[in-house]
Amino acid sequence: METQNTLPLIGDMAPAFQAQSTAWPINFPKDYKGKRVVLFSHPADFTPVCTTEFIGFQKAYEDFKAINTELLWYSVDGLQWHIEWLRNIERNFGVKVEFPLLAGSKIAHLYGMLHPNADDSTTVRAVFVINPEGQIVAIMYYPLSNGRSVAEILRLVKALQTTAKHKRATPENRPNNPIFGDKVIVPPAGTMKDAVTNAQKYENKDWYICVEQNPNK
């Protein structure tokens, strides 16, 4: 029987799975209760773009852990192939990858990582950000040919944490937005009265775009 390929959406609960990995057997999301998780997929082991991504994310791994976030990586390649590739990265680049690399075909179907019009046999470069409650809060897709930005994904996770904790939106490229810098966006007013109040209470360019200082400071 052919495995059904599903495509989870933002707001959905992340599909549960059990899988072998290069670190230990993973029972997701049970093993990561109370943590944020960034689940990545990559097309194949022993490929140049994927190798650069692994090196980049390993170098930033402590930055992710510092904000209660764990990394999980996946491709359809087998576990022994994963192990040999990670050994190769350490041998050739001096970088020891510490986060788990998952094996098994089920995850690709659960998370809609196989896009036939891109490639019918390998997973695309997918990114799923999953909150501590097991809910998908962000999804990103990249083509096979282009690597992901470590800095942008770390920035996104921090922004999502700010929104979850303080109920504030974040502007483009915060904390380096050219207009508002590290400030956060107050929810838009829902009534005429609130529009007047917000415009008086908060820094603003107009009533619909009010900001305040970073609440994390």
Q: Is 50 a catalytic residue?
A: yes
Contact (Cβ atoms closer than 8 angstroms) between residue 154 and residue 64 = yes
Residue listed under structure tokens 């999980």: 72
Which residues of the chain form beta strands (DSSP E)?
17-19, 26-28, 36-41, 69-74, 101-102, 125-130, 136-142, 184-185, 203-206, 209-212
d(CA 5, CA 109) in angstroms, rounded, equals: 4
Given the residues 14, 37, 50, 124, the one annotated as active site: 50
Contacts of 4 (CB under 8 A, 6+ apart): 109
**C-alpha to C-alpha distances, 39 to 50, 99, 130, 134, 179, nearest whole angstrom:** 14, 11, 8, 12, 32
Q: Which parts of the chain fold into alpha helices (H)?
A: 48-59, 61-65, 79-93, 106-110, 150-166, 192-201
The residues annotated as belonging to the active site are: 50
